[in-house]
Amino acid sequence: MVETLIQNLGEIYSNNIYIKRDDLIPISFGGNKARKAINFFQEIDEGAYDCVVTYGTSSSNHCRIVSSMAAMRKISCYIIGPKEASKPTFNSKMMNWLGAEITIVPVETVHNTIENKLEQLREQGRNPYFIAGGGHGNLGTQAYVDCYEEIRVFEKQNRIHFDYIFSASGTGTTQAGLVCGQLIHGDNRRIVGISIARKNPRGRQVVFNSVKEYLIEKNYTYDDEKIEKTIVFDDKYIGRGYGQNNIEIEQTIKDVLINHGIPLDSTYTGKAYAGMRAYLNKQGIRGKNILFIHTGGTPLFFDDLENIKI
């Protein structure tokens, strides 16, 4: 289990704001993808796998982390990426620097390309390990069930209760893990996923499916209605879509860096933090203890520096 710092950032709309610094996980700029990848690579280490195959865009924190952890083990890493989201980024530069073999194809051919790559490697006598895009799956969900346990330990040690927990919600397993933790313990709070790309109902359904799959695997029984009521998936702050910036996100990134020295990015954490501020204001939430999960993405912050007007 990886334990990360929780620090107080002061007040927003009379709420006490805290941030959990998963961006400080000490693997290649950290983040939620590092927390998840630790679980995947434990399986890789325990098995006889000699290479890893995964999927992601050029902005993918997941692909950066997988490339790094594969390089640390001196095993091959193969990344399949969509042509539609392949512009150069600091993450993609790091993937190349770390020795990943990147194949760019039209998005509609991604699935077949992955299957062909896995078949090709097996025909060569290799034993590939496949990780779904973003670390999606029960191992990824488990990482944030574990994170939820860390939060509960912090609460007990510091005699505090977080009324709301916010995070960026993309592939859904980060939010799903937190929701599973809440359900297992029966805690009274709201876990809010701020969508960075997906609209409802699809985005919410993806989180629901991840929660359901994990609980079934672990032999927990909850009716669908209870799970549905526990999931808060807000798609009001997507803006123009995945990786797209706006004035509110830019200002949020500036504010948090200037006031707290913490880098956010416009694709994930900056969008989620801006969404959290707007959510607290629009919902009239006051006098509560709020925890924001910093899910990482520091290399993307440097991409933003080239685009944000000072």
Q: How far apart are CA 63 and CA 69, in angstroms?
A: 10
Sequence-distant (≥ 6) Cβ neighbours of residue 222 within 8 angstroms: 183, 215
224 with 172: CB under 8 angstroms?
no
Which tokens go with 105? 């194809």
Burial class (CB in 10 A: 0-12, 13-18, 19+), 296: buried
Q: How far apart are CA 142 and CA 153, in angstroms?
A: 17
Q: How far apart are CA 120 and CA 80, in angstroms?
A: 14
Burial class (CB in 10 A: 0-12, 13-18, 19+), 156: exposed
268 with 168: CB under 8 angstroms?
yes
- The tokens 């526990």 sit on which residue? 230
3-state SS class at 307: coil
Q: How far apart are CA 308 and CA 256, in angstroms?
A: 14
Catalytic residue among 28, 58, 59, 60: 60
Catalytic residue check, 14: no
Residues recognised as catalytic: 60
